[in-house]
Amino acid sequence: MNSIKYSEGSEIIHNLNEDEFSKKNIVSKKEKNLLASTYLLLKICLFLLAFISLIKIGNITQLRISRLKEIKNSYVYEKDRFQELTNRFDNLLSQQGQQSFMKDQEQMISRDVMRVIWR
């Protein structure tokens, strides 16, 4: 009888162990699913963050390039203007430029004088 009780008791313990193991296994599967979905969500968030950052970097780069083009165009304009003024100044210092300079001086009118233009 004792052996029957012992065998019944061991079966009950064995059944309890299997039930507990299956419950733990189910809990373990749930935890694994939860962790997997959490990692997937984290990966998606990081991917979106990287994608948005790349878009922002692209826009900033495009803005900088357009500003650099504007600066370059302004520089080229000022450089050409400087070259033109330098050439005019050099022409004024030449012999023919001296006569031209004197003509320009004769045409200048002081601020106090009124100028009448005939047409």
- Note down the domain range covering 56: 2-86
pLDDT in tens, 61-102: 999 999 999 999 999 999 999 999 988 887 777 766 555 655
Structural domain count of the chain: 1
Look at 31 and 103; give whichever has higher pLDDT: 31
Residue 10 inside a domain? The answer is yes
| Reduced 3-state DSSP string for the chain | CHHHHHHHHHHHHHHHHHHHHHHHHHHHHHHHHHHHHHHHHHHHHHHHHHHHHHHHHHHHHHHHHHHHHHHHHHHHHHHHHHHHHHHHHHHHHCHHHHHHHHHHHHHCCCCCCCCCCCC
Residue 92 inside a domain? The answer is no
pLDDT of residue 90: 79
Residue 73 inside a domain? The answer is yes
pLDDT in tens, 9-28: 555 555 556 666 666 677 68
Model pTM above 0.75: no
